[in-house]
């Protein structure tokens, strides 16, 4: 059987490009562009918790990197390099090769260099972890704390597809074949909105990526910014797949489902043309879904209304791994 070192050499070692020193030594050595800040984030995917163990390894390689790129995108930073750690129950070479192919295909698309990692055998659960590094001009990162009363709330792409895909895989719903494949692809191969994040620097005042459902994630912006958010549930961007199911299910997927990896951000009302231009430049739809209001002690951080402005009877919260 291949040793840990053979596996690394065969599947995860490429000549260093931008890095001074890449895979193979005790540390990688990277240069930081003068005048920039380093943006760092890490995200772990655990079998049975974050994905089905029999997920296509190529898709899993894509997703492992994509969820990390999404965090870099949400800061308006440019991804540069990544570190990849794997705890593998078995050294299945075909699986590892396919995983690496999916990982590198997305890395190449974004000019991201794999500069190191760790590879270990486990008797337990397949666990995948990426630490991603990016750069942003000093002071230009878009934080969660910048929303102001009167800002518009925007979201990229469509919401809830991945959650509906998950429900379909769990056989909780049955979708027509094309919608099934579309939603499962959105779950297994999310598209990190890196170009949009970059285009929104200086335009968005606050931003995050939607990974645990819009309701809960938007509450993070509201709390960090000491404001409240009101969302018009009737204007949420929904794909044809979501529009094809019952409204209640579509709303639950769009507002509380995880794994969207879209960007949610706020911007001044006089920046609408700039936001739309950023969306066009990045090739992704942007939809204005609500407004930032003053925080109120007796109202939730995020409220949902219909297009007539009436509060929805059913309100929504986010997903929490340790929640009840
Ligand atoms: P150490 O014992 O110093 O931690 P390792 O033997 O774990 O070193 O790793 C050897 C080299 O291979 C290091 O440069 C490490 O960054 C790299 N590496 C290990 N696993 C991976 C991986 N999955 N992807 C990329 N690089 C890896
Ligand atoms: Mg090691």
User: What integer best gives the mean pLDDT of the chain?
Assistant: 95
- Residue nearest ligand 1's atom 20 by CA: 118
Query: How many C-beta atoms lie closer than 10 Å to residue 269's C-beta?
Result: 11
Please name which ligand lies nearest the alpha carbon of 117. 1
Instruction: Give residue 230's pLDDT.
Output: 97
Band (324; pLDDT cuts 50, 70, 90): very low
Query: Which residues, at least 6 apart from 245, have a Cβ–Cβ distance to it below 8 Å?
Result: 164, 173, 175
Q: What is the pLDDT of residue 61?
A: 98
Structure tokens belonging to residue 10: 């065969």
Check residue 318 and give its pLDDT: 67
Nearest to 167 by CA among 153, 193, 186: 186
Burial 214-225 (b: 16+ CB within 10 A, else e): bbbbbbbbbeeb
Q: How far is the CA of 100 from the centre of ligand 1 (A)?
A: 15
Whose alpha carbon is nearest atom 14 of ligand 1? 24
Ligand 2 centroid to residue 58 C-alpha, Å: 24
Name the least confident of 101-105, 197-201, 247-251, 311-315: 311-315
Closest ligand 1 atom, CA of 85?
A: 23
> What residue ranges line ligand 1, CB within 6 angstroms?
8, 12, 23-26, 84, 86, 114, 116-119
Res 316: pLDDT? 83
pLDDT of residue 319: 62
Q: What is the pLDDT of residue 317?
A: 78
Q: What average pLDDT does this structure show over 144-158? A: 98
**Average pLDDT score over residue span 61-77:** 98
pLDDT average, residue stretch 174-185? 98
- The CA 11 to ligand 2 mean position distance, Å, reads 16
Between the two ends of the chain, the Cα-to-Cα distance in Å is: 43
For residue 118, the ligand 1 atom closest to its alpha carbon is 20
Token pair of 58, please?
Answer: 């190529």
Per-residue pLDDT, averaged over 115-123, amounts to 93
Q: How far apart are the CA of 63 and the centre of ligand 2, in A?
A: 23
Render pLDDT for 256-305 as a digit per residue (tens, 0 to 9): 999 999 999 999 999 999 999 999 999 999 999 999 999 999 889 999 99
Count the Cβ atoms, other than its own, within 10 Å of residue 265. Answer: 31
Distance from residue 292's CA to the centre of ligand 1 (Å): 46
> pLDDT band for position 127 (50/70/90)?
very high
Q: State pLDDT tens for residues 1-57.
A: 678 888 899 999 998 888 999 999 999 999 999 999 999 999 999 999 999 999 999
Q: Which of 7, 8, 19 to mutate to test the pocket of ligand 1 (most atoms within 8 A of CB)?
A: 8
- Residue 161: CB partners within 8 Å, gap ≥ 6? 182, 183, 186, 187, 239, 241, 242, 253, 260
- Tell how far the Cα of 23 is from the centroid of ligand 1, in angstroms: 6
Ligand closest to Cα of 119 equals: 1
CB 49 within 8 A of CB 43: no
Q: Where are the beta strands (DSSP E) in 157-307?
A: 204-210, 227-232, 262-267, 286-294, 302-305
């Amino acid at each position: 059987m291949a040793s840990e070192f053979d596996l690394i050499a065969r599947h995860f070692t490429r000549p260093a490009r931008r890095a001074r020193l890449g895979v193979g030594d005790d540390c990688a050595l990277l240069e930081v562009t003068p005048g920039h800040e380093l943006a760092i984030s890490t995200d772990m995917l655990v079998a049975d918790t974050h994905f089905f163990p029999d997920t296509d390894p190529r898709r899993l390689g894509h997703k492992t990197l994509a969820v990390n790129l999404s965090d870099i995108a949400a800061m308006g930073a440019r991804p540069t390099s990544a570190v990849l750690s794997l705890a593998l129950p078995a050294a299945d070479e075909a699986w590892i090769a396919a995983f690496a192919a999916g990982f590198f295909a997305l890395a190449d698309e974004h000019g991201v260099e794999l500069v190191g990692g760790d590879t270990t055998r486990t008797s337990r659960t397949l666990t995948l972890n990426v630490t991603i590094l990016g750069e942003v001009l000093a002071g230009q990162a878009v934080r969660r704390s910048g929303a102001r009363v009167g800002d518009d709330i925007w979201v990229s792409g469509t919401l809830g597809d991945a959650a509906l895909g998950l429900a379909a895989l769990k056989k909780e719903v049955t979708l027509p074949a094309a919608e099934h494949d579309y939603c499962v692809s959105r779950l297994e191969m999310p598209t990190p909105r890196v170009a949009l994040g970059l285009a929104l620097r200086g335009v968005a005042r606050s931003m995050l990526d939607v990974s645990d459902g819009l309701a809960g994630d938007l509450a993070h912006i509201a709390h960090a910014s000491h404001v409240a958010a009101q969302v018009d549930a009737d204007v949420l961007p929904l794909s044809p797949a979501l529009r094809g199911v019952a409204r209640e299910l579509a709303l639950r997927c769009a507002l509380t489902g995880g794994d969207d990896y879209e960007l949610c951000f706020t911007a001044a009302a006089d920046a609408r043309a700039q936001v739309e231009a950023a969306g066009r430049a990045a090739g992704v739809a942007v939809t204005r879904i609500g407004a930032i209001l003053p925080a109120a002690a007796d109202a939730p951080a995020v409220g949902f209304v219909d297009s007539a402005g009436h509060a929805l009877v059913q309100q929504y919260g986010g997903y929490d791994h340790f929640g009840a």
